[in-house]
Structure 1
């Protein structure tokens, strides 16, 4: 299942039933899980840890040296979970001394020409559409969807179950369960369609919407809005996820609703 026209380093660890097509190069210190398919002209550099049953399409470059001047050749990795699909010409840089790893979770889809920079964290079931550029130290939580040709500033956090409109410039954090659109990026409602598809009840979605009315529609600053939410709304997993995300934001969150 491994083409004789590919170049595989002797100490690379290749699992059972792995397919590697012609003209792919797998360097030393690489691990590839069972059942993974790797297309032609893929380059997998040292430090790659690729899970089971992944699909990596032609032209992808995994675990390349970070495009970061602070990188001094330290040992670091790229970790990719199981059942993740990486389409054509995707590039994923390995970590720097900061976190020493770049992580992409399981069951993700990274479409063609996506770039994931050093020290990023991408959760499970994340979809990143064509040509999205993700700078260093970005965190994208489970089930988030990033529209095509968006650019995400370094150190930004994108919350779980959120959806970012295509072509967006993401300079601030995007809270969980929201839709983000417009320029500058701002709140465009709760991602209710996505939440329903993932089994959230109408009651849970309504409660999330109520939380965001305090945050984005009541003309309160974030600190006062969080106080009002904790006083007036019952504690739920979703409410606490939102509150903790806002409180821990270092870059600040995107703007509220803009007419």
Structure 2
């Protein structure tokens, strides 16, 4: 059990002989660290948290009581394969957060850096979470989901397996998506895109011209009567030199599950393949 000399470990903590505890780490009372867990420097593991390897965690992470990181996936076909969880730097995992390791689909669940997972949120097997994401209380990610950077999931929201949420997208409280959520958009209720995340874009430093371009894109994609492929072609012709618009178009064209289209009839999700 390699433990750095500057680490502080409470005598009631149970730490595997296979674990590594980095410099200046704090391991609280009744923490359980099981298997091959590598903790970077300056991590704080609060009382009654559980870390299960294979788990690699970077520097400056905080894990609060009742959180369980690295447990086996909730997957009927999982048969004990060698999979893992990989976590970056400066993340916060509040009380009773659960992060499950991967399956043979991707072999790992990966979380980037500077994310804030609030109490009772869940990241399922094979998910990829980017950087600077916030999962509010009881937000739920099903298996194989992808969150790009600066995504915000409000309390009690949920994302269906294999779905993606684009950069700076926002899922409102008690809402859910079974389709991909395009970058810079806000979704509420079930599969209903309702606007542009202007506040998030401003906070991210996107200039006013870029925000205006995304607003125009929203009107063409979500408020037009035209087929989706036609709207994207028009958008390319008008604003194809604007980076955030190119990002939005690329995300939609790469979508295999389709995106949600907002209109007065709450039209269900549409993909390029369906609309063509």
TM-score normalised by the shorter chain: which range applies?
over 0.9
Task: Report what 2:254 is aligned to.
Answer: 248
Written as runs of structure 1 = structure 2, the 5 A alignment for 1:2-41 is 2-41=9-48
Q: CA deviation at 1:185?
A: 2.4
* TM-align CA RMSD: 1.1
Say if 2:140 is the partner of 1:155.
no
Written as runs of structure 1 = structure 2, the 5 A alignment for 1:195-234 is 195-234=201-240
TM-score (norm 1): 0.97
SS at match of 1:227: helix
Say if 2:66 is the partner of 1:59.
yes
Inter-partner Cα distance in structure 2 for 1:143 and 1:174:
13
Q: CA deviation at 1:94?
A: 0.2
Deviations 1:18-66 (Å, cap 9, x if unpaired)?
1010111101211111000001111111111111001100000001000
TM-score (norm 2): 0.91
Q: How many residues align?
A: 258
Are the aligned partners of 1:60 and 1:87 in contact in 2 as well (CA < 8 Å)? Answer: yes
Task: Report what 2:103 is aligned to.
Answer: 96
Written as runs of structure 1 = structure 2, the 5 A alignment for 1:111-122 is 111-122=118-129
Deviations 1:227-251 (Å, cap 9, x if unpaired)?
1111222322211111111011111
SS at match of 1:256: coil
Deviations 1:97-130 (Å, cap 9, x if unpaired)?
1111101110000000011100001100000000
Inter-partner Cα distance in structure 2 for 1:27 and 1:225:
52
Of 172, 186, 190, which aligns to 1:179?
186
Inter-partner Cα distance in structure 2 for 1:54 and 1:124:
13
SS at match of 2:229: helix
| Range that drifts further, 56-65 or 235-244 | 235-244
Inter-partner Cα distance in structure 1 for 2:246 and 2:209:
16
Inter-partner Cα distance in structure 2 for 1:258 and 1:37:
49
Are the aligned partners of 2:220 and 2:231 in contact in 1 as well (CA < 8 Å)? Answer: yes
Are the aligned partners of 1:146 and 1:163 in contact in 2 as well (CA < 8 Å)? Answer: yes
Say if 2:236 is the partner of 1:236.
no
Structure 2 residues without counterparts, runs of 5 or longer: 1-7, 266-276
Are the aligned partners of 2:85 and 2:102 in contact in 1 as well (CA < 8 Å)? Answer: yes
Q: CA deviation at 1:151?
A: 1.5
Are the aligned partners of 1:186 and 1:258 in contact in 2 as well (CA < 8 Å)? Answer: no
Inter-partner Cα distance in structure 2 for 1:153 and 1:258:
24
Inter-partner Cα distance in structure 2 for 1:258 and 1:58:
45
Are the aligned partners of 1:150 and 1:168 in contact in 2 as well (CA < 8 Å)? Answer: yes
Inter-partner Cα distance in structure 2 for 1:116 and 1:130:
12
Are the aligned partners of 1:140 and 1:158 in contact in 2 as well (CA < 8 Å)? Answer: yes
